[in-house]
Amino acid sequence: MAGYTPDSLVTVRPFTHRSEGDTVILGDLDRHVFVAIPAEGLDILESLAAGNTVGHTARLYQEKYHDTPDIEDFLEALEQEGFIGEASAVDAGEVPEVRQAHWRWRFEWLSPRAAQRLVSWPVLAFCGLLMVVAAAMIVDDPGVLPKPGNALLFPTHFAALTWAWITFAMLGLFLHELGHLVAARAAGVPAGIGMGNQLWVLVAQTDMTAIWMKPKRQRYLAFAIGMVVDGVQTALLVFFIWSAHRGWVSPPEWAVLLATAVLLTPLARIIWQLFFFLRTDIYYIIATAFKCKNLMTDTDNYLRNRWARLRRSPHIVDQSGIPPGEMRVIRWYSLLWFFGRFASIVFYVLVLLPVFWGYVYQFILLLTGNDTQFSSFDFATVGILVFLINGGGLMLWLRGMYRGARARRRAARSRRVDEAAPTPEPAGIA
């Protein structure tokens, strides 16, 4: 890392910014990197970009704010994020060039104007109407809703219907993420779709971090649109199943079975939004509404601190720099965090375990020599799908847990070294 002495010149890489209260969001749209800094930090960056030395910039800051900035730590933090570098180090190649983030599907052919039509208020109002009508149908006939223990245990054509269900489920997930991408494009920011995981579940993810540079109204739409897409999918499937129950349409039995199974997936995604210990769409809406810069990490640290104090552990994360108003949000969000954990347990017990047990029971029948509902091809289908979907997600989840634990150990070692080291004399800025 480059050292920043008073006579250092700094190379400031191109960035955009948006002010929000006492905070400024810096953004590198090409790399999809965004950081929040105090509003006064923008003066420092603009002074350095104008060619002033670090020392001269510090003096200008002191004259304006009557305070001495901790400028070296500030600059080192920005260097880690790739926004700046000490000029001589950049010229010498000691500060590596930052690389652009790669996302496989960017949909750059979709113009902002076309995207705006797709998420216009008339379209959203029509989607809302569909969901209201579907809710009325569910109240009229609760039997349209799938029963998790039976929905995926197709009594006929198991393998074919299971592969069809997976195909439609993946299509529905893609449409959910595509909704986010379209809303981001409508706001005029770049976005892309890639693969990732939440817990051990392999999921598609949309990178639209540049949306943080836009006003709240556009951010709310970009975060909420995925749930709207899930609601519309749910509504269309409910219309079909309800009509079949009423005899308005006469589809083959397998079509109703498939539609009922597919209905389970958008409903599960909607319930998933209540897992407040994850960065779900609702989480981002809450963080935007209360102007929280890092709500999840701050909440995790707050809960760890509470646990550490109960155990009288000295390893406490310093949260004194968090504004009081934001700290109040973190405290009540910690309650939602626990609610999300409870909701996830209920979801697994009432939804996933019945499905899992249905498959396991068929294997038990096979191993005990009893007649089973599955053929050999059916068993192979279950095994392949479990390996591909849950196995891939489990590997990513374990890798993320390992990297997180390693990062926390490094941070703890660094704190212990800092506490043991003698305090140096403060360096003056000439």
CA distances from 355 to 153, 166, 277, 352 (A): 8, 14, 24, 5
Structural domains in the chain (count)? 2
290: which residues sit within 8 A by CB, 6+ positions away?
326, 329
Placement of tokens 């006579």 in the chain: 7
Residue 21's region, left for phi above 0, alpha for psi from -120 to 50, else beta, is: left
- 347 and 406 together in one domain: yes
Of 77, 101, 125, the residue at which a domain comes to its end is 101
The stretch 65-82 carries a mean pLDDT of: 87
62 part of a folded domain: yes
CA distances from 143 to 82, 152, 162, 254, 260 (A): 55, 16, 21, 17, 10
pLDDT confidence of residue 24: 87
429 part of a folded domain: no
Has residue 198 got a pLDDT over 60?
Answer: no
Has residue 31 got a pLDDT over 90?
Answer: no
- 116 and 21 together in one domain: no
393 part of a folded domain: yes
Least confident among 11-20, 57-66, 193-202, 208-217: 193-202
Has residue 422 got a pLDDT over 50?
Answer: no
pTM of the shown model = 0.79
Has residue 330 got a pLDDT over 60?
Answer: yes
- 349 and 273 together in one domain: yes
C-alpha 288/C-alpha 152 separation (Å) is 37
422 part of a folded domain: no
229 part of a folded domain: yes
Has residue 226 got a pLDDT over 90?
Answer: yes
The stretch 184-194 carries a mean pLDDT of: 87
Give the confidence band of 144 by pLDDT, cuts at 50, 70, 90. very high
pLDDT confidence of residue 427: 33
Has residue 419 got a pLDDT over 50?
Answer: no
Give the confidence band of 286 by pLDDT, cuts at 50, 70, 90. very high
- 77 and 145 together in one domain: no
HEC readout, 331-379: HHHHHHHHHHHHHHHHHHHHHHHHHHHHHHHHHHHHHCCCCCCCCHHHH
Give the confidence band of 175 by pLDDT, cuts at 50, 70, 90. very high
Give the confidence band of 400 by pLDDT, cuts at 50, 70, 90. low
60: which residues sit within 8 A by CB, 6+ positions away?
43, 47, 52
427 part of a folded domain: no
pLDDT confidence of residue 140: 96
The angle that helices 54-65 and 39-49 make with each other, rounded to 10 degrees, is 140
- 231 and 129 together in one domain: yes
16 part of a folded domain: yes
C-alpha 107/C-alpha 19 separation (Å) is 29
31: which residues sit within 8 A by CB, 6+ positions away?
82, 98, 99, 100, 101
pLDDT confidence of residue 347: 93
- 339 and 196 together in one domain: yes
pLDDT confidence of residue 407: 60
- 83 and 127 together in one domain: no
- 119 and 85 together in one domain: no
CA distances from 336 to 24, 275, 348, 367 (A): 27, 9, 18, 44
Per-residue pLDDT of 358-395, as tens digits, reads 888 888 988 888 888 888 888 888 777 766 666 655 66
- 291 and 264 together in one domain: yes
Give the confidence band of 249 by pLDDT, cuts at 50, 70, 90. very high
Q: Which domain, by its residues, includes 39?
A: 10-101
Closest alpha carbon to 317 in 406, 405, 415, 417: 415
DSSP, collapsed to helix, strand or coil, labels residue 230 as: helix
Per-residue pLDDT of 76-119, as tens digits, reads 889 888 888 877 776 666 665 655 555 567 778 889 999 999 99
Q: State residue 25 phi and psi, 5-degree precision.
A: -95, 120
pLDDT confidence of residue 371: 87
pLDDT confidence of residue 418: 42
- 205 and 312 together in one domain: yes
- 138 and 231 together in one domain: yes
Of 73, 101, 129, the residue at which a domain comes to its end is 101
pLDDT confidence of residue 94: 63
Per the CB < 8 A criterion, the answer to whether 387 and 202 are in contact is no
- 179 and 258 together in one domain: yes
Q: Two tokens at 106?
A: 């960017």
Has residue 420 got a pLDDT over 50?
Answer: no
Of 74, 101, 128, the residue at which a domain comes to its end is 101
pLDDT confidence of residue 203: 65
* Residue type (1 letter), 235: A
Q: Which tops the pLDDT comparison, 413 or 319?
A: 319
191 part of a folded domain: yes
